[in-house]
């Protein structure tokens, strides 16, 4: 499946919303970016795994191996067109008995009224044997035994088991479920659809619901004649009639990949290389399906070409479902999506969404091979399908749309997210056994998606694309229509390596399993001997706590770029760290005054820590000739340095020496990482008397790229400039770059008053940036738009943007809207206004405190049940970074407590104290070294704008004055 924001990871408006989210809450970098496929609410926690044994013991959730399914006939009756949820069905299973047994055990979930019988397929004149059943709801076993208890099933016999049952379409978006949409006329249209991964096929029909129990399926659906049904396979025309749709027989496949949709959807059709593709969704949205269709055609062709294995089924469809829990689902031949991850049009949708849609399609289509054609033996190897799907979501897009440079997006999303999450002590290995449905759904996380994608990408580079691709071709060809574990994959890689004469230090089994069987990844520490030219590489597991010693080792591929050989094209491994903690390399030519860089293109899944002298050499080249360092290495040098500074492995001096090259930078990935770092510093330093120096430093860095790409899209520009501009506009305005204010205000004003359209991609930034220092006219226009808008998305945009203002009077006016219960805003909208202000800037925080000092009583009365004042005070505490604001917040809490303690929860003060203390702790470590470096740097550059601008001082003074008046 495709992950995404849903819970943690949802991405849709991916870049836009995540950048926005970072501005609002950059408390720590350890946020899981965005994942597309989550299963169930637990999916975000990395539950600790206790090792389990796969045996037949009492607690075992696995089906016995005594019988095996070969073919299913599934026949279903639904009247969903009229909104009815009841359905019934018959499933006939051809099965083989492998070991003598008295019972046949299947899975079921939330189905009833079973009647069953079985008949031999081996005898010429078989008799029907009636069956009785028992069911066990915890393990979801449905067990059939002959009514005649003397009978048992002999080994090597063949049978057809028939079960009749009834069910109810679910409303929780799992199994065979119920969904609906309302058309423009207000008419409600019902539909029935499916989502089976991981363990929900058993809800639509009793079955052997484990991925390795592959069988063929004939599906027949009875429905109203005004509706249509689609499934994995094309319609079997001869067996279908009005109100009955029968589908052709599938190849042997896993139950969780079956899908069917009964609806009145409309579709658009295309064809490429003889493969027909259709996109289905609710009526009236055909104009929005075009991008998914086009993208689907070229992405499928890219994948089939890369693997050298054609798509296995006669047709491929995609459908957008009104209610859908995951991001998307790779049902074989019928991928399903959330509607908003499928619909796109030029007028209203962002470039980021366009990229995301193709990326999600790349993910689901890659599953057509990895997961569908070759499935996993068990959920232990979930990464064997999700890792490939994640990697090929990028690779397929890189082939189909090479001008996108999509691996920069990979770098800042999945690669960064894997490195962050896999550094936690709670990280789990890619390969580990799970058994119960809830354990299985816990596996849909970074360690099954982003990490394996990063590890696979590493070996694609370390062994060369040629070997990797040939290995995949062998794996897919040899194992098609069967189920595999990781050793099957490794065997194919080994074969490809041998055929291509790739010399490896040990077997692929050893190399790869050192990555799949242990959590974490290496921190490679590089120490150069500047006299002899020798390089010592040390490896250990990278953990945030540098003193928690550990001796984990990997077979780690290594390669180098150097001052005398800055060539990044060949990313294969020139050396390996051989599962040892330390090694010395003497055969890399690097002069003592030349820089050394490990991990060309940042293709390997490691962090690298250099000695300080080498960092200074790298900083020099970044400042003078940045193009000598690959852009993804530039991105990672910054990020790693930042991570090392926050974990006390590296000095601030090095980090800022590196950051100071940004004035020469115009690529997306480095700026994306830089933005993450600078946004964190901005959030903590904004209350400081020396903040102005930080702003000056950042302004100097961002000015050149801002001046170059501006606030408007430029026809023909690099695709990723669309992404870059989102960052440069918001960051340069965040740090008060005047050009950003004026140009953004002009852009917004031309839209508001002259109807000049804003590009959808830039809408969020245009509003916030345009309202940083707006005229009264613009501000009140957006405010009145907020009050008159009927669109919740627009209102949310207006609310977050109005909080961007740095003007006290405007903020006061804005915040007062929260008290006006008659203004048409909902309660949750009204109570989001404060957050929009205090999270954005020191001015916003001051305005929020001022507002509550005056109005706390009225604010508290907005709700009797949820204590809005208490929540607001907690939220504010998160952003308090100065003694002055701390004093003020504490005084306010004291006042409320003395007058109306019931407005506050008991633990409020403890929470406030600990939040503020956390901020002060950060400042204790980072403030002085940061300002020392920046002040030296500014002095050196000969323009120490060391004082606050007069206006800022006046505003602060006024705020203080006002606060004292009340
Ligand atoms: C069934 O067979 C598979 C494959 O050999 C094995 O991994 C699994 O443990 C067996 N299941 C049971 C319940 O014995
Ligand atoms: C299901 O219900 C329909 C009537 O709605 C009936 O024709 C059909 O035989 C039933 N099937 C089973 C297996 O009970
Ligand atoms: C099927 O089972 C359900 C739930 O136990 C029950 O309410 C219903 O009456 C049964 N229907 C038939 C046709 O037996
Ligand atoms: C059952 O079917 C298998 C092939 O599906 C066949 O090899 C075997 O001989 C059959 N058993 C009997 C008893 O006919
Ligand atoms: Zn997936």
- The predicted-structure confidence for 693-721, as pLDDT tens digits, reads as follows 999 999 999 999 999 999 999 999 999 99
pLDDT at position 546: 84
Residue 6 has pLDDT above 80, yes or no: no
Q: Tell me the C-alpha to C-alpha distance, in Å, between residue 93 and each of 74, 104, 137, 141, 216.
A: 9, 11, 22, 16, 10
User: What tens digit of pLDDT does each residue of 141-154 get?
Assistant: 999 999 999 999 99
> Which of the ligands is closest to the CA of residue 383?
5
Q: Flag the least confident range among 54-68, 326-340, 752-766.
A: 54-68
Residue bearing the CA closest to ligand 3, atom 14: 113
- pLDDT (average), residues 774-791: 96
> Which of the ligands is closest to the CA of residue 361?
5
Nearby residues of 20 by Cβ (< 8 Å), 6 or more positions away: 764, 800
- Does the beta carbon of 164 lie inside 6 Å of ligand 2? yes
pLDDT band at residue 246 using 50, 70 and 90 as cut-offs:
very high
Cβ–Cβ under 8 Å, residues 331 and 397: no
By most ligand atoms within 8 Å of CB, the mutation choice from 59, 63, 65, 434 for ligand 1 is 65
Q: Which atom of ligand 2 is nearest to the CA of 166?
A: 14
Between CA 853 and CA 886 the distance in angstroms is 14
Spacing, Cα 186 to ligand 1 middle (Å): 53
Residue bearing the CA closest to ligand 3, atom 11: 113
3-state SS of 335-391?
EEEEHHHCCCCCCCCCHHHHHHHHHHHHHHHHHHHECCCEEECCHHHHHHHHHHHHH
Residue 42 has pLDDT above 80, yes or no: no
**Between these two residues, 544 and 541, which has the higher pLDDT value?**
541
- Does the beta carbon of 90 lie inside 6 Å of ligand 2? yes
Spacing, Cα 119 to ligand 3 middle (Å): 26
Annotated catalytic residues are: 364
- Does the beta carbon of 627 lie inside 6 Å of ligand 3? no
- pLDDT (average), residues 540-558: 90
What residues does ligand 4 touch, defined as CB less than 6 Å away?
96, 122, 156-158
Q: Tell me the C-alpha to C-alpha distance, in Å, between residue 52 and each of 434, 435, 552.
A: 7, 8, 23
> Which of the ligands is closest to the CA of residue 91?
2
Residue bearing the CA closest to ligand 4, atom 7: 156
- Does the beta carbon of 166 lie inside 6 Å of ligand 3? yes
Between CA 706 and CA 727 the distance in angstroms is 10
Residue 22 has pLDDT above 90, yes or no: no
pLDDT band at residue 111 using 50, 70 and 90 as cut-offs:
very high
- pLDDT (average), residues 532-547: 93
User: What tens digit of pLDDT does each residue of 305-321 get?
Assistant: 999 999 999 999 999 99
Cβ–Cβ under 8 Å, residues 37 and 444: yes
Residue 955 has pLDDT above 80, yes or no: no
Look up the pTM and report it. Answer: 0.92
Residue bearing the CA closest to ligand 3, atom 4: 112
- Does the beta carbon of 112 lie inside 6 Å of ligand 3? yes
pLDDT at position 16: 26
Backbone angles phi, psi at 919, to 5 degrees: -65, -45
Above pLDDT 90, what percent of the chain?
89
Residue 607 has pLDDT above 50, yes or no: yes
10 Å CB burial of residue 382 (0-12, 13-18, 19+) is buried
Residue 32 has pLDDT above 50, yes or no: no
pLDDT band at residue 3 using 50, 70 and 90 as cut-offs:
low
Spacing, Cα 164 to ligand 3 middle (Å): 12
Spacing, Cα 389 to ligand 5 middle (Å): 6
Which two tokens mark 47? Answer: 């539950």
What residues does ligand 1 touch, defined as CB less than 6 Å away?
54, 56, 60, 62, 64-65
Residue 47 has pLDDT above 90, yes or no: no
pLDDT at position 547: 83
- pLDDT (average), residues 124-141: 96
Nearby residues of 287 by Cβ (< 8 Å), 6 or more positions away: 345
pLDDT at position 558: 97
Residue bearing the CA closest to ligand 4, atom 12: 157
The count of residues in the chain is: 966
Between CA 493 and CA 353 the distance in angstroms is 35
pLDDT at position 333: 98
Q: Range(s) for CATH 2.60.40.1730 in the chain? A: 66-264
Residue bearing the CA closest to ligand 1, atom 2: 65
Residue 335 has pLDDT above 50, yes or no: yes
By most ligand atoms within 8 Å of CB, the mutation choice from 113, 137, 167, 168 for ligand 3 is 113
Q: Flag the least confident range among 190-194, 260-264, 438-442.
A: 438-442
pLDDT at position 2: 74
By most ligand atoms within 8 Å of CB, the mutation choice from 52, 62, 375, 486 for ligand 1 is 62
Residue 7 has pLDDT above 80, yes or no: no
Between CA 100 and CA 768 the distance in angstroms is 71
> Which of the ligands is closest to the CA of residue 221?
2
pLDDT band at residue 853 using 50, 70 and 90 as cut-offs:
very high
- Does the beta carbon of 77 lie inside 6 Å of ligand 2? yes
> Which of the ligands is closest to the CA of residue 35?
5
Spacing, Cα 121 to ligand 4 middle (Å): 9
522-664: CATH topology: Immunoglobulin-like (2.60.40)
Q: Flag the least confident range among 544-548, 887-891, 947-951.
A: 947-951
Q: Which atom of ligand 1 is nearest to the CA of 56?
A: 13
Between CA 103 and CA 133 the distance in angstroms is 9
Spacing, Cα 123 to ligand 4 middle (Å): 11
Residue bearing the CA closest to ligand 4, atom 1: 158
Q: Which atom of ligand 3 is nearest to the CA of 112?
A: 2
Q: Flag the least confident range among 26-40, 367-381, 762-776, 878-892.
A: 26-40
Q: Which atom of ligand 2 is nearest to the CA of 90?
A: 13
Residue bearing the CA closest to ligand 3, atom 10: 113
Between CA 24 and CA 683 the distance in angstroms is 9
Residue 678 has pLDDT above 50, yes or no: yes
Between CA 512 and CA 196 the distance in angstroms is 31
Q: Range(s) for CATH 2.60.40.1910 in the chain? A: 522-664
Spacing, Cα 731 to ligand 1 middle (Å): 55
Residue 10 has pLDDT above 80, yes or no: no
pLDDT at position 15: 27
Residue 569 has pLDDT above 50, yes or no: yes
Q: Range(s) for CATH 1.25.50.20 in the chain? A: 803-926+949-966
User: What tens digit of pLDDT does each residue of 854-864 get?
Assistant: 999 999 999 98
Residue 94 has pLDDT above 50, yes or no: yes
Q: Report how far Cα 673 is from the mean position of its chain's Cα atoms.
A: 17
Residue bearing the CA closest to ligand 3, atom 1: 113
10 Å CB burial of residue 603 (0-12, 13-18, 19+) is buried
Spacing, Cα 417 to ligand 4 middle (Å): 51
Mean of the per-residue pLDDT values of the chain: 92
User: What tens digit of pLDDT does each residue of 869-917 get?
Assistant: 999 999 999 999 999 999 999 999 999 999 999 999 999 999 999 999 9
**Between these two residues, 38 and 144, which has the higher pLDDT value?**
144
Q: What is the dihedral of CA 278, 279, 285, 288, to 10 degrees?
A: -110
By most ligand atoms within 8 Å of CB, the mutation choice from 52, 53, 54, 139 for ligand 1 is 54
Q: What is the DSSP letter of 5?
A: I
pLDDT at position 59: 66
Residue bearing the CA closest to ligand 4, atom 13: 157
> Which of the ligands is closest to the CA of residue 87?
2
Q: Is the dihedral of CA 706, 712, 713, 714 positive or negative?
A: negative
pLDDT band at residue 229 using 50, 70 and 90 as cut-offs:
very high
By most ligand atoms within 8 Å of CB, the mutation choice from 166, 167, 168 for ligand 3 is 166
Spacing, Cα 215 to ligand 4 middle (Å): 16
Between CA 211 and CA 441 the distance in angstroms is 14
pLDDT band at residue 63 using 50, 70 and 90 as cut-offs:
very high
Residue 278 has pLDDT above 70, yes or no: yes
Residue bearing the CA closest to ligand 1, atom 7: 54
- pLDDT (average), residues 311-339: 96
pLDDT at position 545: 84
- Does the beta carbon of 115 lie inside 6 Å of ligand 3? no
Spacing, Cα 660 to ligand 1 middle (Å): 58
Candidates 3.30.1520.10, 3.40.1160.10, 3.30.300.30, 2.60.40.1730; CATH matching 66-264: 2.60.40.1730
- pLDDT (average), residues 812-840: 96
Spacing, Cα 281 to ligand 2 middle (Å): 29
User: What tens digit of pLDDT does each residue of 745-776 get?
Assistant: 999 999 999 999 999 999 999 999 999 999 99
> Is domain 803-926+949-966 classified as CATH 2.40.50.180?
no
């Amino acid at each position: 499946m495709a992950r995404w924001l849903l819970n943690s990871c949802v991405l849709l408006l991916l870049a836009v919303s995540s950048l926005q989210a970072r501005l609002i809450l950059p408390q720590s970098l350890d946020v899981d970016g965005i994942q597309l496929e989550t299963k169930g609410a637990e999916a975000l926690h990395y539950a600790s795994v206790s090792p389990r044994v796969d045996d037949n013991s009492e607690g075992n959730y696995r089906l016995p191996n005594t019988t095996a399914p070969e073919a299913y006939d599934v026949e279903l009756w639904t009247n969903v067109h009229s909104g009815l949820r009841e359905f019934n069905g018959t499933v006939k299973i051809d099965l083989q008995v492998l070991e003598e047994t008295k019972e046949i055990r299947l899975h079921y979930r939330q189905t009833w009224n079973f009647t069953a019988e079985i008949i031999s397929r081996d005898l010429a004149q078989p008799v029907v044997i009636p069956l009785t059943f028992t069911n066990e709801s915890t393990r979801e076993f449905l067990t059939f035994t002959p009514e005649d208890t003397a009978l048992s099933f002999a080994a090597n016999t063949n049978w057809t088991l028939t079960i009749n049952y009834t069910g109810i379409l679910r409303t929780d978006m799992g199994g065979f479920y119920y969904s609906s949409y309302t058309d423009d006329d207000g008419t409600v249209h019902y539909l029935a659809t499916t989502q089976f991964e991981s363990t929900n096929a058993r809800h639509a029909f009793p079955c052997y619901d484990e991925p390795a129990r592959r069988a063929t399926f004939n599906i027949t659906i009875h429905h109203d004649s005004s509706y249509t049904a689609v499934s994995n396979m094309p319609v079997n025309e001869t067996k279908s009639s009005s109100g009955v749709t029968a589908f052709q027989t599938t190849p042997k496949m896993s139950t969780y990949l079956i899908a069917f949709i009964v609806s009145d959807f409309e579709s658009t059709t295309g064809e490429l290389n003889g493969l027909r593709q259709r996109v289905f969704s609710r009526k009236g949205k055909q104009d929005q399906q075009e991008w998914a269709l086009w993208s689907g055609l070229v992405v499928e062709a890219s994948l089939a070409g890369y693997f050298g294995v054609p798509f296995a089924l006669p047709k491929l469809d995609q459908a957008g479902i009104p209610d859908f829990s995951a991001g998307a689902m790779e049902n074989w031949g019928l991928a399903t999506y959330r509607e908003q991850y499928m619909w796109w049009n030029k007028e209203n949708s962002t470039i980021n969404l366009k990229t995301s849609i193709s990326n999600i399609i790349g993910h689901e289509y890659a599953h057509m091979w990895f997961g569908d054609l070759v499935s996993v033996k068990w959920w232990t190897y979930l990464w064997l399908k999700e890792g490939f799907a994640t990697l090929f979501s990028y690779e397929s897009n890189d082939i189909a749309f090479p001008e996108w440079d999509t691996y920069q997006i990979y770098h800042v999303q999945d690669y960064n997210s894997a490195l962050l999450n896999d550094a936690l002590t709670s990280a789990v290995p890619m390969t580990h056994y799970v058994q119960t449905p809830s354990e299985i759904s816990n596996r849909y996380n970074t360690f099954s998606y982003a990490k394996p994608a990063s590890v696979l990408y590493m070996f694609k580079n370390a062994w060369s694309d040629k070997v990797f691709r040939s290995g995949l071709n062998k794996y897919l060809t040899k194992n098609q229509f069967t189920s595999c574990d990781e050793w099957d994959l490794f065997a194919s890689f080994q074969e490809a390596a041998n055929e291509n004469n790739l010399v490896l230090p040990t077997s692929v089994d050893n190399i790869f399993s050192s990555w799949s069987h242990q959590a974490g990844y290496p921190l490679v520490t590089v120490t150069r001997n500047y006299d002899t030219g020798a390089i010592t590489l040390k490896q250990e597991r990278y953990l945030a706590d540098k003193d928690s010693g550990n001796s984990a080792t990997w077979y780690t591929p290594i390669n180098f770029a150097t001052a005398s050989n800055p060539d990044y094209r060949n990313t294969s491994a020139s050396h390996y760290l051989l599962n040892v903690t330390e090694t010395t390399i003497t055969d890399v030519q690097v002069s003592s005054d030349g820089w050394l860089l490990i991990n060309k293109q940042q293709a390997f899944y490691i962090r690298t820590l250099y000695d300080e002298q080498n960092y200074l050499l790298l900083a020099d080249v970044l400042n003078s000739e940045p193009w000598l360092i690959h852009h993804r290495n530039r991105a990672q040098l910054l990020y790693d340095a930042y991570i090392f500074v926050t974990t006390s492995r590296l000095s601030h001096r090095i980090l800022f020496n590196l950051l100071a090259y940004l004035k020469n930078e115009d690529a997306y990935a480095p700026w994306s990482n830089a933005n993450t770092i600078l946004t964190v510093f901005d959030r903590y330093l904004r209350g400081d008397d020396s903040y102005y120096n930080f702003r000056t430093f950042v302004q100097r860095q961002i000015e050149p790229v801002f001046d170059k790409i501006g606030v408007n899209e430029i026809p023909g520009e690099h695709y990723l400039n669309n992404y870059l501009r989102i960052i440069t506009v918001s960051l340069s305005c965040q740090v008060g770059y005047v050009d950003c204010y004026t140009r953004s205000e002009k852009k917004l004003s031309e839209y508001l008053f002259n109807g000049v359209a804003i590009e959808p991609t830039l809408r969020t930034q245009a509003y916030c940036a345009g309202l940083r220092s707006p005229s009264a006219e613009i501000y009140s226009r957006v405010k009145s738009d907020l009050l008159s808008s009927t669109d919740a998305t627009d209102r949310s945009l207006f609310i977050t943007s109005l909080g961007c203002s740095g003007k006290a009077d405007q903020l006061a006016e804005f915040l007062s809207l929260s008290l006006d219960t008659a203004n048409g805003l909902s309660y949750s909208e009204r109570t989001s206004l404060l957050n929009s202000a205090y999270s954005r800037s020191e001015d916003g925080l001051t305005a929020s405190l001022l507002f509550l000092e005056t109005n706390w009583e009225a604010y508290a009365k907005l709700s009797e049940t949820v204590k809005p004042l208490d929540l607001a005070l907690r939220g504010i505490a998160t952003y308090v970074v100065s003694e002055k604001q701390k004093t003020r917040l504490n005084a306010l809490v004291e006042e409320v407590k003395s007058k109306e303690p019931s407005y506050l929860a008991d633990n409020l003060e403890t929470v406030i104290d600990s939040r503020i203390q956390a901020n002060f702790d950060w400042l204790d470590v980072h403030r002085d070294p940061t300002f020392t470096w920046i002040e030296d740097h500014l002095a050196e550059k000969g323009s120490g704008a060391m004082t606050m601008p007069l206006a800022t001082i006046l505003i602060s003074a006024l705020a203080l004055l006002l606060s004292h008046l009340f």
